[in-house]
Structure 1
């Protein structure tokens, strides 16, 4: 990690715009003491509001961060400011202080123990008796869900409109008990469907997709291997990372990081990072998880390109992947996009392979923003084809585009395109 990141890469780590702005205000050498770096870490002490200085350090291999300040943001403004100073060459090379060396060693030890636990868990999961016992429980749980779905339709959807969220929450809990946890989220999410005109149609559609998945699992022996892997994954059967790295499909490319989104839940925060291969045009999704307030993976920065080999999880439409090997430092670059027609073709082909796809990455090149007569915002390509945009605050995107063409990346769902990043000829990459 001897190559220093540029300012855009550092600010791409910021958890929000407020942290990035605050970091810029304290990224001054005069406010720091004891700074230093080596090939793996950066450290320093920043004078805070109290008597004691905040000890801040970053492990560049993660990257990971530690600061003695009380902030719950990861990375905090002090860690970002330290990295800004380092990127500008204001932090010299030197030996690690004891507190930095101790923290780095503790991180390495935790990583080793975590790998050992995953290996032990994988061995246990492969035990034939354990596998048979779980599959029997899943079979029973899905048979119960199948009957529950038929009962909901038989009783009439108007009856469901009078029910509280407990109707779906109880069904989701039973799926967790049956070790089919992959279905618990979609079932619980039925309670969140807006009660507005068209609600029964939407509920019936979701019921139908759930039953399709149940029936696919019950007839899994008849499915092609890729579709069988997809069905098992959506039921909740996981594939160990070591198996993905050793057996998964490998694709080497220059991967553009086109978007990132954090999804907070009760006990876990999920970070979705989207990539697109420059040579293959292939999309990929890298996930990371952390408890609320915990540090998520920040090694893939939106707006950068990474020369790497990805290992894909098995499935009919392989999308989720792990970074198996990196072949060089990340650099900046605008991803290659497509027009609206090309994107819709990609999505239709993916949906044909995996009918349960909830979202799909879009990278549109040369689109402009336009409003409909009803006030909705659309992305319009040169041929006049458009996609509806779904965003609560459009002003940042409007300001970046300035009426001109941009490359726009985001997540496509049944509700529209949620923009995540845009590239402008003058502004470069802008995270939305």
Structure 2
């Protein structure tokens, strides 16, 4: 594990950071100055970091757990990993001898490690089942599902009426009403236990203030909402896979029911989105043998990072089970057989024209799909007036970057990494353009996270 860990890069360490502030603070602690008694051995890294108090913080990281890195620090931070764990891993990944290999960890680190491995020994892997709560009552579960379906149906019917009233009265009413109209409607959808409808309704409030052409954009989104409502109200007439997609878009939970697929899954990208109630982490994986690109979703309470954290650019030997739904890429992580390891391969790439075609084909199965995961081969970031695009190095075609991508620091990291030369880029391609998430320079360069 020590030899394996030496292949970690600073980018892979920083991809574990729970937020931008932790990434910056951890980067400042990635030098030998504040550290003492640092060491590593048997998949563990430890050290003492000087803080503002008289006693240094005790920091230890377990890298040998197949469930992913685990952290312990005596600092008062509630973030995992904290800035001290990130700084220690950066120091260790530097490979300059600041974190030497040692035969045994100090008592404080060894005791935590022994206790942790004793607790986890014999437990079923997270996501692999084995709950001790016992089997659920199928009759009670069916009744709960029926009651929720009735509430969702009432909500969808009410939303249909509200959309009809809006179109009958004219879209100008939406501009005059502001956010209040949509917030109240979204609250009604929450009461109806349809969080997917609530989220889409809430997004409509920003469209009238989005600049020229907003009526057409509002009408388009209203049409998609109408289509989703009708899909639910007529779900008995839909193919099973499309009906499952409608349920997923409404926010109704559906457990993973696909056959577990064991593969060596390359961690392509990982990023968080947050709202006032929950933080959602999206992790993209690509299977070396299966060739599939799958999405993991994990959640944390507001202000807390989700528990699952995987270093971008490493490989996970694990099983994934797919969730139901046509064109859905979401999976659940099952049993993990080894700690994350260095990658010996990159995902296969495609052209910008093929990426756009893939998104168009995916819309046939899921009309509400915002984007699809795509790896672009040999593209160059180039300016296009006030905008940016990724141009094919070998063809006369390009994809525009989304507004979100243009506002991120990752754009300039991508431009610097390319330097005018072709790069391989993984990201999400949709009707707003392409959002780059990870890049690989030509040759043998390591993965560089862009988000």
Distance 1:119-1:49 versus aligned 2 partners, 3 A rule? same
Which ranges in structure 2 are unaligned for 5 or more consecutive residues? none
- Aligned partner of 1:56 in structure 2 is 59
Task: Return the match for 1:212 from 223, 227, 240.
Answer: 227
RMSD after superposition: 3.1
Are the equivalent residues in 2 in contact too, given 1:45–1:53 (CA < 8 A)? Answer: yes
Are the equivalent residues in 2 in contact too, given 1:258–1:363 (CA < 8 A)? Answer: no
Q: Note the C-alpha offset of 1:267.
A: 1.6
Q: Note the C-alpha offset of 1:279.
A: 4.0
- Aligned partner of 1:197 in structure 2 is 212
Are the equivalent residues in 1 in contact too, given 2:37–2:48 (CA < 8 A)? Answer: yes
Instruction: Determine helix, strand or coil for the equivalent of 2:253.
Output: coil
Q: Distance in 1 between matches of 2:126 and 2:373?
A: 35
Which ranges in structure 1 are unaligned for 5 or more consecutive residues? none
The 5 Å alignment of 1:28-427 reads 31-33=35-37, 38=42, 42-60=45-63, 61=65, 62-71=68-77, 73-84=79-90, 88=95, 90-92=100-102, 93-94=104-105, 96-98=109-111, 123=137, 127-193=141-207, 194-240=209-255, 244=256, 247-328=257-338, 329-332=340-343, 333-372=345-384, 374-381=385-392, 382-390=394-402, 391-392=406-407, 393=409, 394-425=411-442, 427=445
Distance 1:35-1:402 versus aligned 2 partners, 3 A rule? closer
Q: Note the C-alpha offset of 1:412.
A: 2.1
Q: Distance in 2 between matches of 1:35 and 1:424?
A: 32
Are the equivalent residues in 1 in contact too, given 2:125–2:335 (CA < 8 A)? Answer: no
Q: Note the C-alpha offset of 1:35.
A: 5.3
TM-score (normalised: structure 2): 0.83
Distance 1:404-1:398 versus aligned 2 partners, 3 A rule? same
Q: Note the C-alpha offset of 1:202.
A: 0.7
Q: Distance in 2 between matches of 1:416 and 1:125?
A: 46
Q: Note the C-alpha offset of 1:230.
A: 0.8
Distance 1:290-1:117 versus aligned 2 partners, 3 A rule? farther
Instruction: Determine helix, strand or coil for the equivalent of 1:33.
Output: strand
Distance 1:188-1:162 versus aligned 2 partners, 3 A rule? same
